[in-house]
Amino acid sequence: MSGHKQLRIALRNCGVIDPENILEYIARGGYMALGKILDEMAPEDVIDELKKSGLRGRGGGGFPTGLKLEFARRNEGERKYIICNADEGDPGAFMDRSILEGDPQSILEAMAICGYAVGANEGYVYIRAEYPLAIERLTIAIRQAYEAGLIGDDIMGSGFSFDIKIKYGAGAFVCGEETALISSVEGNRGEPHFKPPFPAEKGLWGMPTTVNNVETLANIPSIFNMGAGRFAEIGTKTSKGTKVFALAGNVNKVGLVEVPMGTTLREIVYDIGDGIVGGKKFKAVQTGGPSGGCIPEQFLDIPIDYESLKEIGSMMGSGGMIIMDEDTCMVDIAKYYLEFTTDESCGKCTPCRIGNKRLYEILCKITKGEGTEEDLDSLKELGGIIKDTSLCGLGQTAPNPVLSTMKYFYDEYLSHVRDKKCPAGICSSLTRYEIIADKCIGCTMCAKACPTACISGKVREPHKIDQAKCIKCGACFKACKFDAILKS
């Protein structure tokens, strides 16, 4: 291995081949895994190999993929199904989209492999309708794969047949949850169901079904090409292989990165991401999307995998990674994520539908300076109960951003409720703008900028802000060239 921090397995063909030309995929070893499997491996061996590789679901849960296929194999059913989950609804995440746009054939090959392993002859790609380019390329890929006889009837003369169809998601975040997804494919309201029964027992149309994430699938052909043993050498004890992250936020080099499990956050933020924009101080990194948590500086050096992230109150999630600098208000961040999850909740169960709404309302109160210390206790208590009682993963994880920021940035919460101050100066109701008389030269720029005309003062004399009328828009702060306005 070279000194590079990144290792591309799932993204191996992205940016390398023409996704609209199946020959380029074949030239890079595409469909060799499927060919070999159909030629010389029994379905059980395929499952064993996947178990040996240690591959775990990249869609959030981290469930061992081999085991999941084994369950579906073992359960009886007239028909069985393989579903590729390409619903990718986390705000800011685009790992799956990139794979579908850059290497759609790898997904089709992997679905056929899974189909062979569990005894399924039909597959669906559930993709969000907001991904037109990915849909276009996937459609072309499916057509070409059918033409080449690499999916469809009697693949490569093996006697195994596998069909793949596309289903469009309506764009609701919760439709990415597997039981909701299945319900949506069946034409019903995309709403989660209590598990068990798991999809592997009773999934699509009541038949054994496996739902796999795009990135999970993208790894599968490589595992057979490089050997499960070699794959399992990459990563940590519990988490094998690599993980793709969509690096975003206040970091110099935002983008898609794929790193071996066990890479530290510091390596991602500083070596790959090239540090914080403008040389500011790092404050936290948010992983796991709206279900995740905020990780403070003290954990920058832990090797990240499914378990370590969970231990520190966050999670792997699907791979969103947002870097926050010192100017970020953690209460505001928690509020942002909770707003997302309350909007996207399917509304089925009480704790998520009403509980998360109440959490959100309490956070709004706090950011407006109307919060009390009892509110902080309520947040913690209610958040815990919501996690403990919600029906699906959305509700069970929705309080994470709140609870993790409370855990690591409690002082910030306290300033909001006790001192009615937002230390990062983000919560506008809690910010105060004042003109420092000594510095003000009376240029009148601030007064001209102020939309509510609440700055008074004569030319060349210090100005003054009427606090009662100020709406804390910050226009004067930006307009002043002499640093005479104090924001606090």
Partner 1 sequence: MKKVNVTINDIKIAVPENYTVLEAAREIDVEIPTLCHLNLHDLKAVNRSASCRVCVVEIEGRGTLAPSCSTYVAEGMVIKTHTPRSVKARRTMVELLLSDHPKDCLVCEKNQRCELQKLAADLCVREIKYTGAQSTYEIDNSSRSIYRNLDKCILCRRCETMCNEVQTCGILSGMDRGFETVVGPAFGLPMIDTMCTFCGQCVAVCPTAALTEINQIREVWDAINDPEKIVVVQTAPAVRVALGEEFGMEAGTIVTGKMAAAMRRLGFDRVFDTDFAADLTIVEEASEFIHRLRHGGTLPILTSCCPAWVKFFEHQFPDLLDIPSTCKSPHEMFGTVVKTYYAAKMKIDPEKLVVVSVMPCLAKKYEAARPELNTNGMQNVDYVISTREAAKMIREAGINFVDLPDEDFDNPLGESTGASVIFGTTGGVIEAALRTACDWLTGESLEKVDYHQLRGLEGIREGTVKIGDMEVRIGIAHGLGNARRLLEDIRSGKSTYHAIEIMACPGGCIGGGGQPYHGGDEGIIKKRADAIYREDQGKAKRKSHENENVIELYRDYLGEYYGEKAHELLHTSYQKRELI
Partner 2 sequence: MIKIKSFNELKELKESLNAQREHIRIIVGMATCGMAAGAGEVFDSIAGEIMRQGLKNVTVVRSGCMGACHSEPTVEIVKPGEDPVLYGNVDSSRAKVIISNHIMRGEIVEELVLEKNYETASLGEVEQ
Ligand X SMILES: Cc1cc2nc3c(=O)[nH]c(=O)nc-3n(C[C@H](O)[C@H](O)[C@H](O)COP(=O)(O)O)c2cc1C
Does residue number 243 form part of the binding site for ligand X (CB under 6 A)? no
Beta bridge partners of 123: 82, 164
Does residue number 427 form part of the binding site for ligand SF4 (CB under 6 A)? no
Distance separating alpha carbons of residues 177 and 348, to the nearest angstrom = 13
Q: Give me the amino acid identity at 8.
A: R
Least Å distance between CB 321 and ligand X? 16
Does residue number 342 form part of the binding site for partner 1 (CB under 8 A)? yes
Binding mask 456-475 for ligand SF4 (x = CB under 6 A): ---------x----xxxxxx
DSSP for 30-76, written as a single string: TTHHHHHHHHH--HHHHHHHHHHHT-B-SSSS--BHHHHHHHHHHS-
Q: Which is nearer to ligand X, 392 or 476 (CB)?
A: 392
Does residue number 440 form part of the binding site for ligand SF4 (CB under 6 A)? no
Does residue number 391 form part of the binding site for ligand X (CB under 6 A)? no
Distance separating alpha carbons of residues 371 and 349, to the nearest angstrom = 27
- Residue 236 interface partner, choices ligand X, partner 2, partner 1, none, CB cut-off 5-8 Å depending on type: none
Least Å distance between CB 147 and partner 2? 4
Residue 119 DSSP code: T
Are the C-beta atoms of residues 181 and 85 closer than 8 Å to each other? yes
Does residue number 429 form part of the binding site for ligand SF4 (CB under 6 A)? no
Least Å distance between CB 172 and partner 1? 7
How many of the chain's residues bind partner 1 (CB under 8 A)?
31
Does residue number 404 form part of the binding site for ligand SF4 (CB under 6 A)? no
Q: Which is nearer to ligand SF4, 104 or 192 (CB)?
A: 192
According to DSSP, the β-strands at 455-456 and 464-465 are: antiparallel
Distance separating alpha carbons of residues 306 and 158, to the nearest angstrom = 38
Least Å distance between CB 128 and ligand X? 8
206 exposure class (CB count in 10 Å sphere: 0-12, 13-18, 19+) = middle
- Residue 450 interface partner, choices partner 2, ligand SF4, partner 1, none, CB cut-off 5-8 Å depending on type: ligand SF4
Half-sphere exposure of 208 toward its Cβ, with a 13 Å CA cutoff?
Answer: 22
CA dist 345 to 197, 341, 408, 427, Å? 22, 6, 26, 25
Within positions 87 to 116, which residues make up the interface with ligand X, using CB under 6 A? 87-89
488 exposure class (CB count in 10 Å sphere: 0-12, 13-18, 19+) = exposed
- In angstroms and rounded to an integer, the radius of gyration of the C-alpha atoms of the chain is 26
Q: For ligand X, which stretch binds (CB under 6 A), given 51-59, 332-340, 354-362, 446-454? A: 51-59
Which residue of 125, 151, 174, 251 would you call a contact of ligand SF4, by CB under 6 A?
174
Q: Which is nearer to partner 1, 75 or 106 (CB)?
A: 75
Q: How far apart are the first and last CA of the chain?
A: 50
Which residue of 104, 169, 221, 395 would you call a contact of ligand SF4, by CB under 6 A?
395
Does residue number 148 form part of the binding site for ligand SF4 (CB under 6 A)? no
Task: Give the contacts of 281 (CB within 8 A, at least 6 positions apart).
Answer: 325, 326
- Residue 465 interface partner, choices partner 2, ligand SF4, ligand X, none, CB cut-off 5-8 Å depending on type: ligand SF4
Are the C-beta atoms of residues 484 and 436 closer than 8 Å to each other? yes
Which residue of 326, 388, 411, 461 would you call a contact of partner 1, by CB under 8 A?
388
Does residue number 454 form part of the binding site for ligand SF4 (CB under 6 A)? yes
Are the C-beta atoms of residues 291 and 60 closer than 8 Å to each other? yes
Q: For partner 1, which stretch binds (CB under 8 A), given 41-49, 116-124, 338-346, 443-451? A: 338-346
Q: CA triplet 302, 327, 290: central angle to 5 degrees?
A: 60
Least Å distance between CB 264 and partner 2? 16
Does residue number 263 form part of the binding site for partner 1 (CB under 8 A)? no
Residue numbers at the binding site for ligand X (CB under 6 A): 57-61, 63, 85, 87-89, 173-174, 176-178, 211-213, 216, 318, 392-394
Q: Which residues bind partner 1 (CB under 8 A)?
A: 172, 174, 189, 191, 193-194, 196, 342-351, 353-355, 357-358, 361, 382, 385, 387-391, 396
